[in-house]
Amino acid sequence: MKILQMKVGKTGPLCIGLDTDPAYIPDCVKKDFKSPQEAVLQYNTKIIEATKDIVACYKVQIAYYEAQGIKGLEVYSKTLKKIKQEGALSIADIKRGDIAATAKAYSQAHFSGDFEADIVTLNPYMGFETLLPWKRYWEQENMQKGAFILLHTSNPGRCDIECLPTCDNSTVFCKVADFLNNYYAQQKEQNKEYCCPQLGAVVGCTNYDEARFFRDLCPNIFFLIPGYGVQGGDARTAAILLQNAGGVVNSSRGILLAWQKDEGLLQKEKSGNLLLEDMVCACKNKVLQDTKMILKEKETL
Amino acid sequence: MKILQMKVGKTGPLCIGLDTDPAYIPDCVKKDFKSPQEAVLQYNTKIIEATKDIVACYKVQIAYYEAQGIKGLEVYSKTLKKIKQEGALSIADIKRGDIAATAKAYSQAHFSGDFEADIVTLNPYMGFETLLPWKRYWEQENMQKGAFILLHTSNPGRCDIECLPTCDNSTVFCKVADFLNNYYAQQKEQNKEYCCPQLGAVVGCTNYDEARFFRDLCPNIFFLIPGYGVQGGDARTAAILLQNAGGVVNSSRGILLAWQKDEGLLQKEKSGNLLLEDMVCACKNKVLQDTKMILKEKETL
């Protein structure tokens, strides 16, 4: 996670969410490729090449690739390899959460081989023991792996379980926060130079007050911040969450579909002349614009 | 779920967990196959052929296949297809849990295409809205899909979140139970003949008292019961959980590694003469033995 934290210092906090549904690519562009999967791979590839120096990392949502079966997962694998090849960092948004030998198998799946990523997202519902098999990857020397644990997501359904008040005047998410804060404290005790734990947290970009609360709850924890842009989170809320240990702000559809906000490109699509390059160019401009807006808000805090 | 419930009436409640780690197959057997993945596929195939009429269903734990990358997922896909081809039922143990378009993508991934299964396992942590995209598959006529929601698992870490007491004298798992019971009540109101909701629950085979509690908490909910055998759950505890709406009892390693409990087969392995057929035969005997034991306990209740 330290490498990602350092990268943010150079590029700004934006993370591109490569949740690339084939439906996001219009037919007039898709027709130049031998399959929808090939179009997705080329879109991902061109985005990575165009933005690797202006974003902190790429979050690849595996669900969109699983939905396309084996061929989709080949694209997922090639996308992760491309990110690595370009010297960039990948977050595999897999939200896995299982125990013992099964968790070990998942950690092997996503920290090595075809689906190797730098960082993963994990679901803590079955208990904190589910995280142990993943830790061996970053506790080994020279392994720069890490994981973001679901702490407080941006969807309305977070009230059902994550936000339940517990009988000790706490909440379910506070138990996850306690676990993360204790992990930080333990690591810090062992290493005085310690700055950023390999376990970060997913904290949705919901509203100003919640952002303030979560930043204060986990000052030393690096955040993955979804919900920016299309899902309603604004730059000021994101900026709050980026204080202290910092974090990365994910934007998926806001960037992948940025071309749809450009009247000229919509016209080109209507007349069947839209190019993949036009779409990539719109992505890049949107990244620059979002980064500028978030950093500006951060300065005013 | 109704089809599975009916199947249990014919075959007994056992579900074989095809968590087939290549390491479970000894080298002297693996050497006859061109890859470890091919050995796993053949073991799965032969087990399905030998047991389809004596087990209720097969639970395929995707983690073991993900760990082998694309080749592993090809075996996963072929295993699910083999189960379907033999007229048997599959549970994809995927424990996915995500929101909105991502949940929709996951439901497409596991209820259609390469990875199509009959039933899935789901993680409710991000809220009950995560279940909606899956429901459209069983609310369509003639679609016999279903899902088991994690309610109370058998691992020690269940205390961290699942079992947390909430401020209203309830617990986190009770909120999940309430959701499932309400879903049953709603469906029942619409259809008086209604018997078994398409949403079941994962309830670990832990101990007698807990089993009694969970069976009483959700009398109308069909259970997927892991933790039997190797993980410590016994036949009597399983039998309690099988009362009322019933359920299926999963056994994975207990069956896949049954050959290791046979002194003669261990000797054959040592001398390099163990055959895949020997292993499959041990699986079948273990299934018959476990089924008999569980049904006997059920009769005495």
Given CB atoms, is B232 within the 8 Å cutoff of chain A? no
Cα–Cα distances (Å) from B155 to A125, B60, B256, in that order, read 12, 19, 20
Give the least confident one: A220-234, A274-288, B121-135.
A220-234
Q: Identify the pLDDT of residue A259.
A: 98
> Is pLDDT of B279 > 80?
yes
> Is pLDDT of B142 > 70?
no
- Most A CBs within 10 A among B126, B134, B168, B170, hence the mutation to make, goes to B126
> Is pLDDT of A142 > 70?
no
Distance from CA of B61 to the nearest CA of A (A): 8
Shortest CB distance from A164 goes to which of B100, B129, B172?
A: B172
Q: Identify the pLDDT of residue B117.
A: 98
Q: What's at A246, amino acid-wise? A: G
Average pLDDT, chain A: 95
Residue of A nearest to B97 (CA): A95
Please enumerate in sequence order all residues whose Cβ is within 8 A of that of A41, keeping only pairs 6 or more positions apart, or say none.
A75, A78, A79
Segment A3-14 mean pLDDT: 96
- Token pair for residue A214? 């979560």
- Token pair for residue B278? 């020997």
Q: Identify the pLDDT of residue B141.
A: 66
Given CB atoms, is A61 within the 8 Å cutoff of chain B? yes
Of the two residues B6 and B195, the one the predictor is more confident about is: B6
Which residues from chain A sit within 8 angstroms of residue B19, using beta carbons? 101-102
Nearest to A21 by CA among A61, A70, A79: A61
Separation between Cα atoms, residue A74 and residue B74, nearest integer Å: 11
Segment B200-220 mean pLDDT: 96
Is the Cβ pair B106, A158 closer than 8 Å?
Answer: no
Is the Cβ pair B157, A109 closer than 8 Å?
Answer: no
Segment A45-54 mean pLDDT: 98
Instruction: Give me the residues of A, 68-87, that contact B with CB < 8 A.
Output: 68-70, 73-74, 77
Is the Cβ pair B103, A160 closer than 8 Å?
Answer: no
Residue of A nearest to B113 (CA): A69
> Is pLDDT of B230 > 80?
no
Separation between Cα atoms, residue B147 and residue A295, nearest integer Å: 44
Helix axes B276-300, B36-51, angle to 10 degrees: 40
Which residues from chain B sit within 8 angstroms of residue A175, using beta carbons? 160-161, 164
Separation between Cα atoms, residue A272 and residue A27, nearest integer Å: 8
Is the Cβ pair A63, B125 closer than 8 Å?
Answer: no
Shortest CB distance from A157 goes to which of B99, B110, B164?
A: B99
Q: What is the DSSP string of B100-166?
A: HHHHHHHHHHHHSGGG--SEEEE--TT-GGGGHHHHHHHHSTT---EEEEEEE-SSGGGGTTTTPBB
Shortest CB distance from B98 goes to which of A21, A95, A156?
A: A95
> Is pLDDT of A71 > 80?
yes
Summarised one tens digit per residue, pLDDT across range A166-197 is 999 999 999 999 999 999 999 999 887 777 88
Shortest CB distance from B150 goes to which of A74, A125, A167?
A: A125
* Residue A51 pLDDT level (bands cut at 50, 70, 90): very high
> Is pLDDT of A231 > 70?
no
Is the Cβ pair A127, B161 closer than 8 Å?
Answer: yes
From A59, A95, A145, A284, the catalytic residue:
A95
> Is pLDDT of B192 > 90?
no
* Phi, psi (degrees; rounded to nearest 5) at B163: -100, 5
* Residue A81 pLDDT level (bands cut at 50, 70, 90): very high
Distance from CA of A281 to the nearest CA of B (A): 25
Shortest CB distance from A158 goes to which of B126, B162, B166?
A: B126
Summarised one tens digit per residue, pLDDT across range B3-19 is 999 999 999 999 999 99
- Angle (CA) B241 B60 B246, round 5°: 20
- Token pair for residue A17? 């969410």
Q: Identify the pLDDT of residue B231.
A: 66
Contact A244, A215 (CB under 8 A): yes
* Residue A141 pLDDT level (bands cut at 50, 70, 90): low
> Is pLDDT of A150 > 90?
yes
Given CB atoms, is A278 within the 8 Å cutoff of chain B? no
Q: Identify the pLDDT of residue A238.
A: 96
Q: What is the DSSP string of B231-291?
A: GSB-HHHHHHHTSTT-EEEEESHHHHTGGGG-HHHHHHHHTT---HHHHHHHHHHHHHHHH
Segment B229-242 mean pLDDT: 87
Q: What is the DSSP string of chain A?
A: -HHHHHHHHHH-SEEEE----GGGS-HHHHTTSSSHHHHHHHHHHHHHHHHTTTSSEEEEEHHHHHTTHHHHHHHHHHHHHHHHHTT--EEEEEEE---HHHHHHHHHHHHSGGG--SEEEE--TT-GGGGHHHHHHHHSTT---EEEEEEE-SSGGGGTTTTPBBTTS-BHHHHHHHHHHHHHHHHHHH-TT--S-SEEEEE----HHHHHHHHHH-TT--EEE--BGGGSB-HHHHHHHTSTT-EEEEESHHHHTGGGG-HHHHHHHHTT---HHHHHHHHHHHHHHHHHHHHHHHHH-
Summarised one tens digit per residue, pLDDT across range B244-275 is 999 999 999 999 999 999 999 999 999 999 99
Separation between Cα atoms, residue B197 and residue B131, nearest integer Å: 14
Segment A293-299 mean pLDDT: 95
Distance from CA of A253 to the nearest CA of B (A): 11
Given CB atoms, is A167 within the 8 Å cutoff of chain B? yes
Given CB atoms, is B132 within the 8 Å cutoff of chain A? no
For the question of whether the overall pTM of this predicted structure is more than 0.95, the answer is yes
Separation between Cα atoms, residue B72 and residue B63, nearest integer Å: 10
Separation between Cα atoms, residue B203 and residue B200, nearest integer Å: 10
